[in-house]
Amino acid sequence: MGAAVFLERIRVVEFAQYIPGPLAGQILADLGADVVKTEPPGGEPMRRLGPPGPDGASALYALVNRGKRVLELDLKAEEGVAAFAALLENADVLLESYRPGVLARLGFDDARLDALNPRLVHCALTGWGRTGPYAGRAGHDLNYMALGGGLAASGPAAAPAISHPPVADHAGASAAAVAILAALVRRGQTGTGAHLDVSLMESVLAWQATALTLAARGAPPERGQALLNGGAAFYNVYETADGGFVTLGAIEAKFWAAFCDAVGRPGWIARQAEPLPQTELNRDVATLFAARPLADWCARLDPVDCCFEAVARLDSVAQHPHVAARGLLREQQSVVETLFPLLVDGAPVAERAPVRMATAADVLADWD
């Protein structure tokens, strides 16, 4: 059984824009759901966020909405409201990612949703959550990372670093998809739907338990000084003589020893136990890597079992033999598509169809 049939016959109405909601919807589509994305007349803003492709839409829009049908509805007009209500009556899931209160102002508050379809799983994916003093506050990924703890310990000592791609958007999308799947399981047992409140900020916050615990104990992980953020010489990023970069993740003593022996520095083996931050050892290892070009280091260390890996350029990832062997990256129709990271019975999920425009009548006829 392939992943494309896991959610067969599950109908999803996606009322979302930009990355988080559409990405959550795409995860459900990858797993077999029929996802219908509704947009205002003229389309959502992400269609125009970046240079247009052959179809006139930005790459980000074209990628995150593949595998779905898209229909434009004017929810400020009687006809659009009626079509949206009909879709919800027949749907299993409503996935929305606007600020709290938007659906209610359009006439679809929680009570109306329950009346239309008591089996509906309604997931509200918002920036800060549906309640609390920040519920209506504007924000984007960088803001959610800032409050949720995602930036405090990330980056060099001088300043936090912006992550790419946006972490909160992707974490929130994954959390929303998981919550929806769990709610569908419960609905299968009880017959009732649910109202799910997932926030992008808290999707980041949920990953900060260790850092918060260390902070509560008086030893927060400072940027560039802790084990996993640059303080350890055996777990760091280093520049090579020709401007390339390599990673070393030799946390276990056996890997560090293998690295030290391979580069002719057996005297460094005992230095792994030096207290953090390992400023001097970091400098020594950086000097070592800076003495030779990237290709030399790959030739020497790729065969060594020491958790070494070069930082791949984006224009070379597709050609990497391991990436090619796994088959989860496809280039077609002017886009490079990364499939859902899952193999089922040894095979990847199906390639996504391009974005397809539809009408409410078409969708309702299929769902009848």
Q: How far apart are CA 306 and CA 312, in angstroms?
A: 18
Which structure tokens are listed for 32? Answer: 């077999």
Euclidean distance between CA atoms 308 and 238, whole angstroms: 11
In sequence order, what are the residues at sequence separation of 6 or more whose Cβ sits closer than 8 angstroms to the Cβ of residue 311?
A: 237, 244, 245, 246, 247
Active site residue 169: yes
b/e code 210-223 from CB counts within 10 Å (16+ = b): ebeeeeeeeebbeb
Q: Which of 55, 74, 114, 140 is catalytic?
A: 140
How far is the C-alpha of 71 from the C-alpha of 48, rounded, in Å? 17
Q: Of all helices (H) and strands (E), which one includes residue 69?
A: strand 69-72
Task: Give bridge partners of residue 246 from the DSSP assignment.
Answer: 238, 310
> Among candidates 305, 270, 267, 312, which has minimal Cα distance to 288?
267
Look at the block and give the residue holding tokens 């998809």.
177
Two structure tokens written together for 33: 């759901």
- Contact by Cβ (8 Å): 277, 236: no
- CA–CA distance, 334 with 355 (Å, rounded to integer): 13
Give yes or no for a cis peptide into 165 (omega within 30° of 0).
yes
| Given 30, 141, 169, 170, the catalytic residue | 169
* Contact assessment for residue 39 and residue 96, using Cβ atoms and an 8 Å cutoff: no
Task: Give the integer Cα–Cα distance in Å for 255 and 272.
Answer: 11
Rg (CA), the chain: 24
What span, in angstroms and rounded, lies between the C-alpha atoms of 205 and 18? 21
Tell me, what DSSP letter sits at residue 336? E
Q: Which residues are marked as active site?
A: 140, 169
